[in-house]
Amino acid sequence: MRKWSLLWPFWAILAIHGVAILIFVKGFLLTRTELPYFSHCSDVSQSPCFTPDSFFHSNPSVPSPSYATNFSRCWTNPAVNRIIIIVFDALRFDFVAPSSFFEESKPWMDKLRVLHKMASERASSAKIFKAIADPPTTSLQRLKGITTGGLPTFIDVGNSFGAPAIIEDNLIHQLVQNGKRVVMMGDDTWMQLFPNHFQKAFPYPSFNVKDLHTVDNGCIEHLLPSLYEDDWDVLIAHFLGVDHAGHIFGVDSSPMFEKLEQYNTILEKVVDVLESQSETGGLHENTLLLVMGDHGQTLNGDHGGGSAEEVETSLFAMSFNKLSASIPSEFGTSSCQLDSQGREICTSSIQQLDFPVTLSALLGIPFPYGSIGRVNPELYALGAGSMKLDGTKVGSYLNQSGGWMQNYVNVLCVNSWQVKRYIDNYTASSVIGFSDEDLLHTRSLYDDAMESWSHIRKGLLSNDDGSDNIPSLKRQIDAYSNFLASVAELARSKWTEFNLKMMTLGFSLMLASLFVHFLAIKRISKLCSSSFANEDCGTTFELMLSCFLVAIRACSFLSNSFILEEGKATSFLLATSGIIMLRYSIAERKHFLKVVIFLLLMIYCRFTIEVGLLKQADTSAFLKVYPSWVLEIASLLPGWTYVTEAVPIIALILLVQLLLKNVSGSQSKGMWQFVVYGTIFCYILTGVHWALENDMLHFVPAVEGIGKNCLPRIIYAIGLGQLSLLLFRQLFGEDKPLNCRKTLVTKTVTMLAACSPTVIILAGKQGSLVALASVLGGYCIISMDNLRHGGDGNDRVLTVDSLPVTQWSLFAICLFFSSGHWCAFDGLRYAAAFIGFDEFVLVRQAVLLMIDTFGFSIILPIFGLPFIVANKYSSTQAAKVESSLFMGLSQAYLMYGLVTAVPVTATILCVILQRRHLMVWGLFAPKFVFDVVALILTDVCICLATLYYVPHLSS
């Protein structure tokens, strides 16, 4: 039999999976249609809101609509001359709001004291907002949201590490096209999104999450001097320190507190400069200061999902003009309380969706064409309150009870017309668009609002003081607001365009791949004259149990609750199989201790998975760089910190002992031993690296620098060299034909030895513990496989039971969750990508992040699978049936691939059925992305493993 006759099904399955996933993604993760249209000042002439100037000049008491007073000034009259936007990445709401607004005061609260002071002393012109973002909450999508006014699309997450330029209409484009000078400093993502848009730019690399200061120091260097210059109209400063501190250390950490204190000092200096130049005729007489976050973060510093802490961020707005409008209470969302110093501070709420259109209204530029936001009344009032209107003095305007409402209605009229225009054109241009029923409902709301406005304008003509029209104006504001809210709700529920034909085709191909898996398994069984379910070997019950476990896990994905608890459900299924094996162990009176160890290991996995769930929740106390599951104990038991530092080192020592035992008992010499000793050396370097990072030990900076970057790089280099040696021997070496089983075991040990140091060091100090747990779990699964088949299986020609392969797969999934990961983008440990490096290189960091995410759950389990097959054959038997040994290995890999593919197929079916579910983007889509990436990586690793393990067989 030739080697390729065994291996071609793996490559065929990989191809089918790739095509199926590409087709399905094309139907499911479509981006919304980005219309190639841009707003222009002249567009407003098409609006029914436009009224000739003569109407207003004939009624001096009626404030002119901002667009009608001077058509050359575009859609709205500019209310502010300059805007300063200071973005603090990942700024949680409780970083800004006083601690008195929350049930319990936390150490990170009340750090930005200058904002509290301004919000209290200048309540009419300074306000704190809770800004609500739309998930997913990656920085790229949030920057797109706060500049375009559109809702995010899930597929944009894939561009988070290489943002393409925004091609649809946006706030920055409108600023530049209308003669506004924009200066940017900080996060270089702005340069990727808006190339060639800035008058001046000072970008800094943003992806090194271990770097807390480079971007911030660059912003500080250029921000304060820029405040004294008059060569800009909009200034953007994007700080990253809080985001990076959260990713590395968590919210409740000293670096986070230090960053917040630093930001408070910076803001104090900014406010002092602006106030000193805000007098009449001053540079900042009519400047609006905005301090905002793009998204929030969980307590352990993650973001990307849709939890409350991730979508709730902050916005502080302060106008430096002397007068601000006081809006009717029913149009605001203020909530006032006393802070810790007894000062009354009010906070409001705003949708981030409303940010670009509100700023456009304040600056007097066209609204972005694709914006579906509403001009926020409170933020707009901060700047527009002192706007001078034709025929009306500022003071009298502010004293008029209906003055603010008349102007705001005018703005909302243009706002509603712009959104209605976009929705109509989107439906006409898009493949699917919105349904006729939805369009009829929104059109009815819009028509009613416009008809009502036409009657109110007639009332304004007949009423000199306008006081009798206040109730009508309030109703009109409500009418426009209802229309805009209805459009936003419609877009949130039905924005994504699903192509059911392509989704169904992709799902059908996935089903076909399962059939190919089954046929390939049967083909190998037929080649060896052995059935897939051989009753004589006792596999019928085990096959049924395996199918039951896989089916239960697959069906669980139809429930969002079970997806959230996937790790716990998987450990439960694995423990169930262990309990069944315990019954056989008692009956056979052997391997009892090993089965008990396996069940105890399931308890360990269950505990560590529970800790991972706590990290997903917003109440986690496990925030340090130490093994997360011991931190709570550390605060209760004295000296426990020393134990937590010693345990990972002890686990490394045990791993070294296992390798030394393998080398001493092996017949293989030469290169195999060289690889193993290289791994032992890497383990030693890993222990030194952890020791140098220990806060309790103090080393000179030069030594700490070596431990920080040099040692991980040496480990990576040694690992790459070991893999190169194994590849060289595979291509040019020859295996001894009489020792195929021992050669297979030796190959497996050396491959795992070459890969494990990189996986362990990327996983952090928990890495050695997870590695040791994986060794124990694999040993127990192999031992339990012998319970129903006495001895070493000498009575068998080829039977690779499905149960141990299924257990192997389920255990790998448990290791994924036990190592601190979960199927969400905030479950990625971005800091692992920078172990050994400070600068960001896309391919390198992506590879390291992939190894950290899937090292214990895919890479090591797949290359360790031959142990199950080799365990069934003695060396004498394997020498007689060499082809059977490797056909058994191929069958085991086919089974493993099938066990992996069935749940992924169920996930795809689940996504089809739940595509309109409330949690589709927050839960089902991330689960789908993680599963299909894991499936493709599994297929690739299986193909590489079979190439490595299966030799050229004789006919």
- Does 465 share its domain with 505? no
In a domain? residue 82: yes
- Does 404 share its domain with 505? no
In a domain? residue 629: yes
How confident is the model over 706-759, as pLDDT tens digits?
Answer: 667 889 999 999 999 999 998 888 887 665 554 677 888 888 999 999 999 999
Mean pLDDT of the 213-218 span: 92
Reported confidence tier of residue 326, pLDDT bands at 50, 70, 90: low
- Does 651 share its domain with 786? yes
In a domain? residue 955: no
Lowest mean pLDDT among 173-187, 394-408, 712-726: 394-408
- Does 439 share its domain with 504? no
- Does 901 share its domain with 933? yes
**Domain stops at, among 475, 495, 515:** 495
- Does 506 share its domain with 471? no
**Rounded mean pLDDT of the chain?**
80
Task: Say yes or no to pLDDT of 624 above 50.
Answer: no
Mean pLDDT of the 593-610 span: 88
Q: Which domain holds residue 812?
A: 3-25+500-949
In a domain? residue 636: yes
pLDDT at 85: 96
Lowest mean pLDDT among 81-90, 774-783, 872-881: 872-881
Euclidean distance between CA atoms 295 and 300, whole angstroms: 15
How confident is the model over 440-469, as pLDDT tens digits?
Answer: 888 999 988 888 888 777 766 565 555 556
Euclidean distance between CA atoms 748 and 741, whole angstroms: 11
Give 468-481 as a DSSP string: GGHHHHHHHHHHHH
Task: Say yes or no to pLDDT of 72 above 50.
Answer: no
pLDDT at 270: 94
Best CA proximity match to 892, nearest among 89, 4, 103, 10 = 10
Mean pLDDT of the 217-233 span: 93
**Domain stops at, among 439, 466, 495:** 495
Higher pLDDT among residues 635 and 510, named by residue: 510
Task: Say yes or no to pLDDT of 58 above 50.
Answer: no
- Does 8 share its domain with 50? no
Task: Check if the beta carbon of residue 187 is closer than 8 Å to that of residue 238.
Answer: yes
Identify which of 153-157, 843-847, 876-880 has the greatest average pLDDT.
843-847
Q: What is the CATH number of the domain that holds 324?
A: 3.40.720.10
In the three-class reduction of DSSP (H, G, I as helix; E, B as strand; rest coil), residue 633 is classed as helix
Task: Say yes or no to pLDDT of 329 above 70.
Answer: no
CB atoms within 10 A of CB 337: 13
> At how many degrees (to 10) do helices 254-276 and 113-121 cross?
40
Lowest mean pLDDT among 50-59, 568-577, 800-809: 50-59
Domain count, the chain: 2
Euclidean distance between CA atoms 750 and 674, whole angstroms: 9
pLDDT at 496: 52
Task: Say yes or no to pLDDT of 538 above 50.
Answer: no
- Does 444 share its domain with 579? no
Task: Say yes or no to pLDDT of 70 above 50.
Answer: no
Dihedral angle at the C-alpha atoms of 848, 850, 851, 857, nearest 10 degrees? 160
Lowest mean pLDDT among 17-21, 232-236, 316-320: 316-320
Q: Are strands 126-132 and 312-319 parallel, antiparallel or unpaired?
A: antiparallel
pLDDT at 937: 96
Task: Check if the beta carbon of residue 327 is closer than 8 Å to that of residue 169.
Answer: no
- Does 36 share its domain with 122? yes
- Does 484 share its domain with 597? no
Task: Say yes or no to pLDDT of 663 above 50.
Answer: yes
Q: What's the pTM value of the predicted model, to 2 decimals?
A: 0.70
Reported confidence tier of residue 392, pLDDT bands at 50, 70, 90: very low
Q: Which two tokens stand for residue 953?
A: 């067989």
- Does 150 share its domain with 11? no
Reported confidence tier of residue 491, pLDDT bands at 50, 70, 90: confident
Task: Say yes or no to pLDDT of 627 above 60.
Answer: no
pLDDT at 54: 34
- The share of the chain scoring above pLDDT 70, in percent, equals 79
pLDDT at 886: 79
Reported confidence tier of residue 64, pLDDT bands at 50, 70, 90: very low
How confident is the model over 92-148, as pLDDT tens digits?
Answer: 999 999 988 888 888 899 899 999 999 888 888 889 999 998 877 777 788 888 999
Best CA proximity match to 320, nearest among 125, 127, 128 = 125
Reported confidence tier of residue 263, pLDDT bands at 50, 70, 90: very high
Task: Say yes or no to pLDDT of 620 above 70.
Answer: no
Mean pLDDT of the 484-503 span: 78
In a domain? residue 350: yes
CB atoms within 10 A of CB 489: 11
pLDDT at 55: 36
In a domain? residue 303: yes
Task: Say yes or no to pLDDT of 535 above 70.
Answer: no
Q: Which two tokens stand for residue 265?
A: 């000092």
In a domain? residue 954: no
Identify which of 213-217, 402-406, 459-463 has the greatest average pLDDT.
213-217
**Domain stops at, among 469, 495, 521:** 495
CB neighbour class for 945 (10 Å; exposed up to 12, middle 13-18, buried from 19): buried
In a domain? residue 653: yes
Reported confidence tier of residue 695, pLDDT bands at 50, 70, 90: low
Task: Say yes or no to pLDDT of 348 above 80.
Answer: yes
Reported confidence tier of residue 654, pLDDT bands at 50, 70, 90: very high
Task: Say yes or no to pLDDT of 893 above 60.
Answer: yes
Task: Say yes or no to pLDDT of 696 above 50.
Answer: yes
Task: Say yes or no to pLDDT of 346 above 70.
Answer: yes
How confident is the model over 248-259, as pLDDT tens digits?
Answer: 888 988 999 999
Mean pLDDT of the 171-181 span: 93
pLDDT at 629: 45
- Does 21 share its domain with 102? no
